[in-house]
Amino acid sequence: MCKNFSSTISAYLAGFLDGDGSIYVRLKPNNTYKYGFQVAPYVVLFQSNQDRKNFEKLCSKIGFGILRERKDGILEYSINKAEELKFFLTSIKPFLILKRKQADLMLKILDKKGKVKNQNDFEKLAQLVDNFRELNYSKKRKIRTINARRD
């Protein structure tokens, strides 16, 4: 699926993510999902459009993900597929400093996401998602595990 990163690239990506990136997961309301919510995990790297050439070069070393330009001139490189997230985070985790707890929690969520068999399992997963609120200083969250609907 993915090429292996050298330790140099892994360390560089970890430093970039620590400084100009984000690891987060959201519960998005979606009635087409069994428990009424989609678990949407992300790793995002940010860079000014002024350094687009170098940023594109860095992103090409990753080999997966999506690059988009926001209206404010900021480039966002997003990774949101579970297997790619697992590979990326596992590769760079030994070098993370500031976002190591987020990486550990995301890997735990990705593991549990694939093992949800019932409402109770989903509620435990949703509680893990809520734990990102404390790690990422999120104050705008509106969906919390106690709001997860029961069917």
Give the model confidence (pLDDT) of 44-86 as tens digits.
Answer: 999 999 999 999 999 999 999 999 999 999 999 999 999 999 9
Q: Examine residue 74 and state whether it is found in any structural domain, yes or no.
A: yes
Q: Examine residue 151 and state whether it is found in any structural domain, yes or no.
A: no
Domain that holds residue 125: 7-146
Q: Examine residue 21 and state whether it is found in any structural domain, yes or no.
A: yes
Average pLDDT over residues 86-108: 97
pLDDT of residue 88 exceeding 80: yes
CA angle at residue 24 from 20 to 29, to 5 degrees?
A: 140
Count of H-run helices and E-run strands, the chain:
6, 4
pLDDT digits (tens, 9 = 90+) for 124-144: 999 999 888 778 765 555 555
The total of structural domains in the chain comes to 1
**How many angstroms separate the CA atoms of 63 and 1, rounded?**
10
Confidence at 22, pLDDT banded by 50, 70, 90? very high
Q: Examine residue 77 and state whether it is found in any structural domain, yes or no.
A: yes
Neighbours of 140 (CB within 10 A): 5
Q: Examine residue 62 and state whether it is found in any structural domain, yes or no.
A: yes
Known catalytic residue at 19: yes
Give the pLDDT of residue 56.
Answer: 96
pLDDT above 70 covers a percentage of the chain that reads 88
Q: Examine residue 124 and state whether it is found in any structural domain, yes or no.
A: yes
Does residue 87 contact residue 105 with C-beta atoms inside 8 Å? no
Output the domain CATH number for residue 71: 3.10.28.10
Q: Examine residue 2 and state whether it is found in any structural domain, yes or no.
A: no
pLDDT above 90 covers a percentage of the chain that reads 81
Give the pLDDT of residue 1.
Answer: 45
Does residue 99 contact residue 21 with C-beta atoms inside 8 Å? yes
| Catalytic pick among 20, 36, 104, 121 | 20
Question: What are the b/e assignments for 13-52, b being 16+ CB within 10 Å?
Answer: bbbbbbeebebbbebeeeeeeebbbebebebbbbbeeeee
Q: Examine residue 14 and state whether it is found in any structural domain, yes or no.
A: yes
